[in-house]
C-alpha cells in the first residue's frame, strides 16, 4: 500500500477513535479481535476478508483486510444499539453484531447488493501474508514488438466486475463485431478479475465455474478475428481475492500461452503486502521474463496505479502499457482528475509502450454525452489504450457513435505515438495538442466549466502553430474555414476536437 494511503488510513483511524458515538450504550459488546469473513461465491470460490477491530467502550477502531489484499481503515464507526456500523473506502458499509462466539456481518457496497456473513475469531497471525520470495537481478528485457499503437478493445471490469462469465465474454466478442467496433480497430476482449479457480495438484491455475473452458473461449474469440486477454496479480491473491500468480509466474505464463491468451493485465493487489515498493520493477520483470519465454506473443499490461515512477522502467520489463493512476470511476470528477493530469507523463509514451490512465467508462451511465465525448477525445489525445468498459450488447446509438468515431480514433492510433500536452489554459478552457505523423496537429479544446463558453484564441499564441491551411472538426466531420484564430462555442464539460495542418 502506498505511503499516502497508509497515512490517510492512519488519519481515518484517529478520526474514528475521536468520533463521538451517537446512540452508544454503556455496555456495548466487545468486538475486539481478528475476525475472518468467508464469502462463498456460487461459482465455487470462497473469498476471505478479515476485520481487525479494537473496541474501547463505545469507540471502535481498526481496519478491514479486504479480500486478503488491501488493508483499509475503519471510518465513521459508531454503535447503533448492539450493532457496530462503519464504512471502509469504496463506499462499503459494515453492520456488525455479536452472535455467540462469532460476529454477524452485513456488508453493503453502495448499491443494491449486500452480503450476509459470519465472522469467526482467528489468531492475529492468521492475517500474516506469505513470505516474500527471492526477486531476480534487474536487467533490461527485449521489446516484445507488440502494440506499436495503443491497444483497443473491451475489458469486463468497469461494467460487470464479478458478474463476468463465459457468456458475457462471448456476447462482448459478438457485439464488438456487430456494432462496427471491430471494423473501427477494436481487437482485444479482455477478461478482468474473478475468472480464477484454485490450482491443481501440479500447481496449474484453474478457472472457476464461470469459465468452463478457456481454450474453447479463446477459439471462439479468435474465430471472430479478435484477441483474448486475461488478468492476474504478482501477489498471492488478486484485488478481488482470487488466486494470484505468486510463485507460479512461469507456469501461469505457459498456461496462458496454451489457452491462446494474447494479453495479460498484471495487477499489484496483495503483492503490496509481500514486497516493498523498491521491488516493483523486479517483480514485474519476473512476469515479463516469463511472458517472453512462453512461446506466444502476449501483450503485457502493468497495473500498479503509477507507483514507483513505473513509466521510467516499465519498457525495461517488456511492459507495453502501465496504469498511471488509481481506479477510474464513472463520473466527471474522477475522469477529469485523471485525464487532465496526464500531460506531465507525455514524454514516456511511444510506439510499443503507453501510459494507461485506466479503462473507458463511456456508456456506463454516470456522465452525459458531452462528458463522454470529452473522455474519449482526451484519451485519444493522450495516446491512451482504448478499452471500452461498458456493456457492448446494449449500448445506445450515442455510445456507439462515440466509441466508433474513426476520425478521433485515428488521433489515438497515430503512428508517431506522441502523447498530447496542455498548450494553453484560461478560465476553465484548456487546449491540448498532439503532433501527428502526417505533419499536422490534433487539438482538443476542452470546456471544464459547468456552462457553455466561447473559446477564442489565436493559433500562434495558444497552440504554437502558424495559421493552418486546413482545419477539420473531428466530431462534426466538417472542414472549418482556416484563419489565424479559433472562435467557437464549446458545450459545458464538452470538447471541440480539431485536426489542423
Ligand atoms: C484493481 C484494478 C482494477 C480491476 C480490479 C479487479 O482495482 O485497478 O482495474 O482490475 O482491481 O479486482
Å from CA of 396 to ligand 1 middle: 26
Condensed to tens digits (0 to 9), the pLDDT of residues 333-343 reads: 999 999 999 99
Q: Please state, in angstroms and rounded to a whole number, the distance separating the CA atoms of residues 429 and 153.
A: 30
For ligand 1, the distance from its centroid to the CA atom of residue 358, given in whole angstroms, is: 10
N- to C-terminal Cα separation, the chain:
46
Q: Whose CA is nearest to atom 1 of ligand 1?
A: 239
Asked if 267 is an active-site residue, the reply is yes
pTM, to two decimals: 0.93
Pick the catalytic residue: 89, 115, 171, 327?
A: 327
For 217-230, how does the pLDDT look when each residue is reduced to its tens digit (9 = 90+)? 999 999 999 999 99
Tell me what pLDDT residue 110 has.
86
| pLDDT, tens digit, 9 for 90 and up, residues 249-305 | 999 999 999 999 999 999 999 999 999 999 999 999 999 999 999 999 999 999 999
Mean pLDDT of the chain: 93
> How close is the Cα of 474 to the center of ligand 1, in Å?
32
pLDDT of residue 133: 95
Cβ-contact 13, 63 below 8 angstroms: yes
The model's pLDDT over 132-167, given as tens digits with 9 standing for 90+, comes to: 999 999 999 999 999 999 999 999 999 999 999 999
d(CA 452, CA 494): 8
What is the pLDDT at residue 13?
A: 44
The pLDDT score that the predictor gives to residue 465 is: 74
Query: How far, in Å, CA of 135 to CA of 217, rounded?
Result: 34
Structure confidence by residue, pLDDT tens digits, 48-67: 999 999 998 888 999 999 99
CATH no., domain 152-404:
3.20.20.70
Residue nearest to atom 6 of ligand 1 (CA): 193
Contact of 86 with 60, CB cutoff 8 Å: yes
Sign of CA dihedral 155, 156, 157, 160: positive
**Residue 468 confidence (pLDDT):** 85
Domain 3-127 classification at class level: mainly beta
Look at 95-109, 135-149, 202-216, 450-464 and tell me which has the smallest mean pLDDT. 450-464
| In contact, 80 and 23? CB cutoff 8 Å | yes
Cα radius of gyration (the chain): 24
- 4-49 pLDDT tens trace: 444 444 444 444 443 434 444 445 678 999 999 999 999 999 999 9
Catalytic residue among 70, 192, 193, 267: 267
Confidence at residue 224, expressed as pLDDT on a 0 to 100 scale:
98
Contact criterion met (CB below 8 Å) for 287 and 251: no
**High-pLDDT (> 70) share of the chain, %:** 94
Q: What CATH code is assigned to 421-500?
A: 2.60.40.1180
Active site residue 327: yes
For the chain, domain boundaries? 3-127, 152-404, 421-500
More confident residue, 459 or 472: 472
What local confidence, expressed as pLDDT, does residue 10 receive?
43
- Mean per-residue pLDDT for 352-376? 98
Q: Find the residues whose C-beta lies inside 6 A of ligand 1.
A: 157, 192-193, 238-240, 267, 303, 327
Distance CA 280, CA 308 (A): 7
Residue with the bigger pLDDT between 484 and 281: it is: 281
For a mutational test of ligand 1's pocket, the pick from 66, 267, 310, 338, i.e. the residue with the most ligand atoms closer than 8 A to its C-beta, is: 267
pLDDT of 6: 43
Identify the pLDDT of residue 15: 43
Amino acid at each position: 500500500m502506498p505511503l499516502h494511503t497508509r497515512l490517510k488510513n492512519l488519519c481515518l483511524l484517529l478520526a474514528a477513535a475521536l468520533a463521538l458515538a451517537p446512540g452508544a450504550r454503556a455496555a456495548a459488546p466487545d468486538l475486539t479481535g481478528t475476525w475472518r469473513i468467508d464469502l462463498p461465491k456460487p461459482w465455487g470460490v470462497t473469498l476471505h476478508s478479515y476485520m481487525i477491530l479494537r473496541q474501547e467502550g463505545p469507540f471502535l477502531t481498526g481496519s478491514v483486510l479486504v479480500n486478503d489484499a488491501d488493508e483499509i481503515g475503519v471510518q465513521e464507526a459508531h454503535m447503533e444499539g448492539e450493532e457496530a456500523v462503519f464504512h471502509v473506502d469504496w463506499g462499503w458499509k459494515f453492520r456488525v453484531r455479536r452472535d455467540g462466539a462469532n460476529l454477524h456481518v452485513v456488508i453493503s457496497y453502495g448499491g443494491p447488493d449486500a452480503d450476509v456473513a459470519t465472522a469467526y475469531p482467528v489468531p492475529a497471525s492468521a492475517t500474516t501474508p506469505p513470505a516474500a520470495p527471492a526477486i531476480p537481478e534487474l536487467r533490461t528485457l527485449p521489446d516484445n514488438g507488440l502494440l506499436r499503437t495503443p491497444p483497443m478493445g473491451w475489458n469486463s471490469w468497469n461494467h460487470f466486475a464479478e458478474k463476468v462469465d463465459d457468456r458475457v465474454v462471448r456476447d462482448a466478442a459478438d457485439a464488438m463485431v456487430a456494432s462496427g467496433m471491430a471494423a473501427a480497430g477494436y481487437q482485444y476482449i479482455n477478461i478482468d478479475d474473478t475468472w480464477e479457480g484454485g490450482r491443481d495438484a501440479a500447481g496449474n491455475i484453474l478457472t472457476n465455474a464461470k469459465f468452463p473452458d478457456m481454450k474453447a473461449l479463446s477459439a471462439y474469440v479468435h474465430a471472430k478475428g479478435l484477441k483474448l486477454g486475461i488478468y492476474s496479480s504478482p501477489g498471492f491473491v488478486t484485488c478481488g481475492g482470487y488466486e494470484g500468480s505468486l510463485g507460479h509466474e512461469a507456469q501461469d505464463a505457459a498456461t496462458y500461452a496454451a489457452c491462446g491468451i494474447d494479453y495479460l493485465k498484471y495487477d499489484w493487489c496483495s503483492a503490496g503486502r509481500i514486497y516493498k515498493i523498491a521491488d516493483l520493477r523486479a517483480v514485474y520483470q519476473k512476469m515479463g521474463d516469463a511472458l517472453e519465454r512462453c512461446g506466444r506473443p502476449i501483450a503485457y499490461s502493468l497495473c500498479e496505479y503509477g507507483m514507483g515512477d513505473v513509466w521510467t522502467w516499465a519498457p525495461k520489463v517488456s511492459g507495453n502499457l502501465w496504469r498511471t493512476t488509481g481506479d477510474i470511476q464513472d463520473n466527471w470528477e474522477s475522469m477529469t482528475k485523471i485525464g487532465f493530469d496526464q500531460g506531465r507523463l507525455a514524454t514516456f509514451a511511444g510506439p510499443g509502450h503507453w501510459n494507461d490512465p485506466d479503462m473507458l467508462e463511456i456508456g456506463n451511465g454516470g456522465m452525459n454525452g458531452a462528458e463522454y465525448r470529452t473522455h474519449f477525445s482526451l484519451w485519444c489525445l493522450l495516446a491512451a489504450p482504448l478499452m471500452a468498459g461498458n456493456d457492448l450488447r446494449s449500448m445506445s446509438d450515442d455510445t456507439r457513435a462515440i466509441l466508433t468515431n474513426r476520425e478521433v480514433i485515428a488521433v489515438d492510433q497515430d503512428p508517431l505515438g506522441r502523447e498530447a500536452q496542455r498548450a494553453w489554459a484560461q478560465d476553465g478552457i484548456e487546449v491540448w495538442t498532439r503532433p501527428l505523423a502526417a505533419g499536422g496537429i490534433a487539438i482538443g479544446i476542452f470546456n471544464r466549466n459547468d456552462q457553455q463558453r466561447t473559446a477564442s484564441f489565436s493559433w500562434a499564441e495558444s497552440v504554437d502553430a502558424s495559421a493552418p491551411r486546413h482545419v477539420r472538426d473531428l466530431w462534426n466531420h466538417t472542414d472549418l474555414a482556416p484563419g489565424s484564430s479559433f472562435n467557437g462555442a464549446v458545450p459545458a464539460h464538452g470538447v471541440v476536437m480539431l485536426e489542423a495542418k
